[in-house]
Chain A
Amino acid sequence: MPLAQPVLCKRIPTYPWGDPKDRQYVGYDQFTATGGYVGLTKALAMAPKAVIDLVKEAELRGRGGAGFPAGLKWSFLPPEDGQRRYLAVNADESEPGTFKDRLLIDFDPHLLLEGIAIAMHACRLDTAYIYIRGEYHAQAKTLQRAIDEAYAHKIFGEGSRLGQINALWPNCYVHRGAGAYICGEETGLLESLEGKRGWPRIKPPFPAVAGAFARPTIINNVETLAMVGPLLDQGPTWFKSLGKGRPDGVPASVPASFGPKLYGISGHVNRPGVYEENLGIKLSTLIEDHAAGMLKGKKFKAAIPGGISMGVLGPDEYHAELDFDIGRKHNCLGLGTAGVIVMDQDTDMVAVARNIARFFAHESCGQCTPCREGTGWMYKVLTRVEAGGGTLDDLDLLLEVSASMGAMPGTTICGLADGANWAVRTIVNKFWPEFEARVAQTRSNRVSLAVVGATH
C-alpha cells in the first residue's frame, strides 16, 4: 500500500502530493501553524523514561545506515549523575547516493530541531551538536537560521521549555565538518567533534557510556530524529500501521520495518529525487511510479539499495522490497540509507566496481591495515581489469581481499571496510560473467584462499 499522507514531507512538496518546484524554507511560525512542536509538547508532559519507552514500543529504527532501534539505543544510557551528557546529530551525509537529510535541513529544519529537543528531554542531554558535512555550506546556514528562531521561541537556551537538564539550559549548536566521509561513522564523528582527526574508536566503550568528551552521548541520524516529533504526536499504533511488519515466523525480538522512509533515487531514471514511502516499497514501484521509469526507456540492469556500501541488486532483483530485511533476502549488506542508485542495460559493471573501490580507497582513514591496503588493492586491481589487463587471478584476488576485510570478519575497527567489501564482492559475484569476459582466461597455479573456501 502506498503511503497515503506524507509525514516527513508534510511541509516539503514532493510527488505525488506536491511539486518540488514549490519547496521553500519553513520557518518557526509556519511550522507551528501546521502542527509543529506538538510532539514536543506531548513529550514534555511525559516523564523522560516514558518517552524512551514510547520510541521503543514504536520500534523506530535508525535511518542513518545501520538500522539500530532508536529507543533501545536511548535506553543504554547510564543513570544520570548530574554531569554533562551530549547529543551528536549525524548530518554528515556523505554516502554516495544519499541526499535525503539535506532535503529535511533545506526545507523543514524545525522538524529536526523538534526531534532533537524531544531526544534531549527523554535522554537528559544538555547539549546537542549537529555535525554537518563541510560541503553543506547553504545547509549549515539554514540550520543556524532555524536554530536562532528556536532559541527566540524558547525551545533551546535560557528559559527553555525543556527546563534545565543536568543543571544547564539546553543548547543546540551547528558543528561543521571539513570533508571526510569517515566522520559519518559515529565514533569518527565524536573524535572530529573533539577537534581531532576523524579516526573511529575501538568499541567498547560504546558512546552511550563514554562518547563525546568521555561522557554519555547519543548519536542519531537527521532523519531518525526528524521522525520522533510526528511519532510522539501520533503515537506508536499509528507509526506501526505504516511500513512493513516482521516477516512471517520471525520472533518479536527481531525489529521490523515500521513507518515511512525517505528514499533517494538517482542514476538512470527519468525523475530522480527524494520520495517518501512506506518501508517495504518495491524497487520496481519506486522506479516506475515515483521516478517515472528508466531513462530513455532502457532496460533495468542493477541498483544499489541504499548507498554504495550496501552492495548491488541484479537484474532478477528488480522487484526487491526495500526494507530492513533486504540484506537477508537479497544477499546485500542492508537497506543502508535507502539512497537508491539505478543502472541501465548499458552500464559497465566493472567501471561501477572501480568507481566504488576508488571511493573507499580514498576515504579509508588508514588506521586498520586490511582496510587501508585492501581498498587500495581493490581499486588497483579493478583499474587494471577495466583497462583490459586483468586475468582470472585478479578476480580471485578481489574476492579474497574483499572477504577478509571488515568489522564483521573482525579485522577492522569500523564498518567502512565492510561497505567496501560488500560492494565489490556482490558486484563481482552477481555479474561474474561480465567480469570473466573482461579478463584474460589465464590462472596461475597459485591457489586462491577464496576459491578453496578458507575465508568466509
Chain B
Amino acid sequence: MAWIAKNSAGATIERRSEPYLTPVLKAKLEADVLPRYPTKRAALLPVLHAVQHEHHWLPAQALEEIAAFLDLAPSQVLDTASFYEEFWLNPKGKYLIMVCQSLSCELMGQTGLLGKISRKLGIAPGQTTPDGKYTLMTAECLGSCGSAPCALVNEVLHENIHADNFERILDTLE
C-alpha cells in the first residue's frame, strides 16, 4: 500500500565510511544509464535497482549517496523509493519468497500453499527467519496465471507449485 505514510522523521541514519554507490558502480552508471535519459532524475529507478542488486537492500545512507549522484534532494529519492514495493528500505532475507495471491492463483490453491510454506519456515508473510535466510511475502499477480499457483524466489519464477514440489524448491536454496 504505497500511500501509507512511513515514519522517517527523527530516525537515526546508520553510517559507514565505505560508500554504497561505489566509484566503479558510479562509472558504470554514468557510462551506460545516465545517457539514456534527458533528465538525471529519470535514472533514479535504474540506479536504485543497481544499488539494491549489489547490496540486497537500500539503507538510508545509500539513498543519500544516490541523491547526491543525481542532483536530487534525499527526500525526493526517499519519496520515489518508498512508493515501490520492490525497493527494500529494510534488510530482507537472502531468499525473498513472493507467493502470488491474486485471483487465478487463489482459485488454484494458493491459500493452502502459503500456509504450508509459512509453517515450514516458521514465519508469517511479511517476516524474515531469525537466521536472515528467508523472507516470506505475498505478491499480487506475477503474470503467470496460466501456471498458477506460482511464486517468485529472488529473480526466479516457480510455476505450478503444489504442496509437494514446493518443498523441493526450498531444498534447492542454500
Contact B140–A363 (Cβ < 8 Å): yes
B155 within 8 A of A: yes
Contact A178–B146 (Cβ < 8 Å): no
Contact A364–B85 (Cβ < 8 Å): no
A234 within 8 A of B: no
Contact B145–A343 (Cβ < 8 Å): no
Report B-chain residues with C-beta under 8 Å of the C-beta of A176.
45-46, 49
A136 within 8 A of B: yes
Interface residue ranges, B against A (CB under 8 Å): 1-3, 36, 38-39, 41-46, 48-49, 70, 79-80, 83-87, 98, 101-104, 106-108, 139-148, 152, 155-157
**CA separation between A175 and B32, bound complex, in Å?**
13
Contact of A265 (CB < 8 Å), options: B42, B46, B108, B146? B146
A352 within 8 A of B: yes
Report B-chain residues with C-beta under 8 Å of the C-beta of A178.
45, 48-49, 84-87
Q: How large is the interface on A (under 10, 10 to 19, 20 to 34, 35 or more residues)?
A: 35 or more
Report B-chain residues with C-beta under 8 Å of the C-beta of A175.
45-46
Report A-chain residues with C-beta under 8 Å of the C-beta of B157.
137-138
Interface residue ranges, A against B (CB under 8 Å): 84, 93-99, 101-102, 133-138, 171, 173, 175-182, 192-198, 213, 264-268, 272-274, 304, 308, 339, 341, 343, 347, 351-352, 355-356, 358-359, 361-367, 372
**CA separation between A274 and B49, bound complex, in Å?**
30
Contact of A180 (CB < 8 Å), options: B83, B102, B147, B148? B83
Contact B84–A179 (Cβ < 8 Å): yes
**CA separation between A423 and B53, bound complex, in Å?**
37
Q: Which residue of B lies closest to A103 (CB)?
A: B146
**CA separation between A84 and B39, bound complex, in Å?**
13
Contact A177–B106 (Cβ < 8 Å): no
Contact A181–B36 (Cβ < 8 Å): no
**CA separation between A91 and B51, bound complex, in Å?**
23
Contact A135–B106 (Cβ < 8 Å): no
The tally of CB-CB contacts under 8 A between chains A and B is 153
Asked, given contacts A94-B140, A98-B143, whether A195 binds B45 with beta carbons under 8 Å apart, the answer is yes
A-B pairs with beta carbons under 8 Å apart, 13 shown: A94-B140, A98-B143, A98-B145, A138-B155, A175-B45, A176-B49, A179-B85, A180-B83, A265-B146, A267-B103, A267-B148, A272-B145, A341-B145
16 additional A-B pairs beyond A135-B142, A195-B80, A366-B1, beta carbons within 8 Å, are A96-B140, A97-B145, A98-B143, A133-B143, A176-B49, A178-B45, A195-B39, A196-B79, A197-B2, A264-B146, A267-B145, A267-B148, A268-B107, A355-B102, A355-B103, A358-B101
Contact B36–A95 (Cβ < 8 Å): no
Contact A97–B103 (Cβ < 8 Å): yes
Contact B144–A364 (Cβ < 8 Å): no
Q: Which residue of A lies closest to B43 (CB)?
A: A195
**CA separation between A176 and B45, bound complex, in Å?**
7
Report A-chain residues with C-beta under 8 Å of the C-beta of B3.
364-367, 372
Contact of B38 (CB < 8 Å), options: A84, A93, A265? A84
In angstroms, how far is the closest chain A Cβ from the Cβ of B92? 13
Report A-chain residues with C-beta under 8 Å of the C-beta of B139.
135, 179
Report A-chain residues with C-beta under 8 Å of the C-beta of B147.
272
Asked, given contacts A178-B87, A264-B146, whether A341 binds B103 with beta carbons under 8 Å apart, the answer is yes
Q: Which residue of B lies closest to A364 (CB)?
A: B3
**CA separation between A135 and B86, bound complex, in Å?**
8
In angstroms, how far is the closest chain A Cβ from the Cβ of B142? 6
Asked, given contacts A179-B84, A267-B108, A272-B147, whether A96 binds B155 with beta carbons under 8 Å apart, the answer is no
Report B-chain residues with C-beta under 8 Å of the C-beta of A308.
102-103
**CA separation between A304 and B44, bound complex, in Å?**
37
Contact of A213 (CB < 8 Å), options: B42, B80, B102, B108? B42
Report B-chain residues with C-beta under 8 Å of the C-beta of A97.
102-104, 141, 145
Query: Which of B1, B85, B145 has its CB near the most chain A CB atoms (within 10 A)?
Result: B145
**CA separation between A175 and B36, bound complex, in Å?**
10
In angstroms, how far is the closest chain A Cβ from the Cβ of B49? 6
Contact A195–B107 (Cβ < 8 Å): no
**CA separation between A196 and B44, bound complex, in Å?**
8
Report A-chain residues with C-beta under 8 Å of the C-beta of B83.
180, 197-198
Contact A362–B103 (Cβ < 8 Å): no
Contact A171–B36 (Cβ < 8 Å): yes
Contact A359–B84 (Cβ < 8 Å): no
Contact A213–B143 (Cβ < 8 Å): no
**CA separation between A63 and B146, bound complex, in Å?**
19
**CA separation between A138 and B139, bound complex, in Å?**
18
Contact A359–B48 (Cβ < 8 Å): no
Query: Which of B101, B103, B108, B152 has its CB near the most chain A CB atoms (within 10 A)?
Result: B103
The 5 closest A-B pairs by CB, nearest first: A366-B3, A195-B44, A178-B84, A197-B83, A179-B86
Report A-chain residues with C-beta under 8 Å of the C-beta of B155.
137-138
Report A-chain residues with C-beta under 8 Å of the C-beta of B107.
267-268, 341, 343, 347, 352
Report A-chain residues with C-beta under 8 Å of the C-beta of B156.
137
Contact B84–A267 (Cβ < 8 Å): no
**CA separation between A265 and B146, bound complex, in Å?**
6
Q: Which residue of A lies closest to B1 (CB)?
A: A362
Contact B45–A136 (Cβ < 8 Å): no
Report B-chain residues with C-beta under 8 Å of the C-beta of A363.
140
Query: Which of A97, A101, A351, A352 has its CB near the most chain B CB atoms (within 10 A)?
Result: A97
In angstroms, how far is the closest chain A Cβ from the Cβ of B160? 10
